[in-house]
Structure 1
Amino acid sequence: MSPERCPCGSGLTYAEDCGRLHDGTAAAATAEQLMRSRYSAFAVGDAAYLLATWDPATRPRTLELDPAVRWTGLEVLAGSGGGLFDTEGTVTFRAHARSGGEEHVRSGHTHQEHSRFRRDDGRWVYVDGDPL
C-alpha cells in the first residue's frame, strides 16, 4: 500500500500504524489499538485479520466483507480498561461508511458500538459488541 494515511485516523501512514498489525510484524498493545486496527481491516478488506483477532469463543466460522461498502471515518467516543496491564477493556466508537458503486453512492451509514475486548494468551482479541 502507498504511504497513505491509516484509515483508523491516527495521522500515521498505514505502513507505520495498522499495516504492521495486519501483516503480523506487531501486535496491538491496547484494546483501543486493536479496535482501530480492526476498523482499518474493514477499510482495506482484510477479513483474515478480523477473524484472527476475534475471540475464539465468539468468532464466526467465516466472514465475508461487502466490497461495495467504503469505510470513511472513525471516531473513538470512550474507553475503559484495555491498557497495557489490563486483561479486559471496552471501546465505544462510531464508524462511518458509504455503500454503493463508485459512480453513484446509494447511502451513508453510521455504525456505533460499545465493544468488549480481552487478552487471550497475551494478545488482545475482540469479544463482542452492543450496537448503540
Structure 2
Amino acid sequence: MRSRYSAYAVGSGDHLFRTWHPRTRPDDVDPDGRVRWVGLDVIDCVAGGPDDSEGVVEFRAHWVSDDDGPTRRGEVHERSAFVRRAGRWVYLRTE
C-alpha cells in the first residue's frame, strides 16, 4: 500500500501498472499530474502478513490541487484488497 501511495506521489505510472492485478487494471494508470499527494494514514490492516495470500488495507490519502484557481484539498478514504501474485503483492480492488 505504501509503495503504491508513493508511486502516486512521485507520478510513477510504471510502478502502479506493475502493482495492479491484470484482471482489474485499467488501460491508463498514470497519476493525475494536477494532484499532489501530501499524506497517507493507514487505518487498518486485515491479514497480509508473510504467510498470507490476501489482505485488506484501510487508508486515507490526502491530496492538494491548485491547477485552475484556488487551492483545493481532499482525501481518498477506502479499503483496498490485495493478493499475492508470483510472490508480490498487487492491488485487486476497492472493498
Normalised to the residue count of structure 2, the TM-score between the two structures is 0.92
Contact 1:98 1:105 in 2 (8 A): no
Change (3 A) 1:57 1:75: same
Specify the SS of the correspondent of 1:83.
Answer: coil
Distance, in Å, in 1 between the alignment partners of 2:24 and 2:14 is 15
What's the offset of the Cα at 1:63?
Answer: 1.9
Identity, % of aligned positions = 47
Alignment of 1:73-88 (within 5 A): 73-88=39-54
Please state if 1:71 is matched with 2:37: yes
User: Displaced runs of 4+ in structure 1, greater than 4 A?
Assistant: none
What's the offset of the Cα at 1:64?
Answer: 2.9
Distance, in Å, in 2 between the alignment partners of 1:67 and 1:109 is 15
Distance, in Å, in 2 between the alignment partners of 1:73 and 1:67 is 16
Distance, in Å, in 1 between the alignment partners of 2:22 and 2:60 is 25
Q: Which residue of 2 aligns with 1:118?
A: 83
- For 2:60, the aligned partner's letter is R
Q: Which residue of 2 aligns with 1:108?
A: 73
Task: In structure 2, list runs of 5 or more residues that go unmatched.
Answer: none
Specify the SS of the correspondent of 1:78.
Answer: strand
Q: Over aligned residues, Cα RMSD in angstroms?
A: 1.5
Specify the SS of the correspondent of 1:108.
Answer: strand
Q: What is the count of residue pairs matched by the alignment?
A: 95
- For 1:60, the aligned partner's letter is P
Q: Which residue of 1 aligns with 2:2?
A: 36
Specify the SS of the correspondent of 1:125.
Answer: strand
- For 1:124, the aligned partner's letter is W
Specify the SS of the correspondent of 2:31.
Answer: coil
What's the offset of the Cα at 1:105?
Answer: 4.6
What's the offset of the Cα at 1:100?
Answer: 1.4
Task: In structure 1, list runs of 5 or more residues that go unmatched.
Answer: 1-34
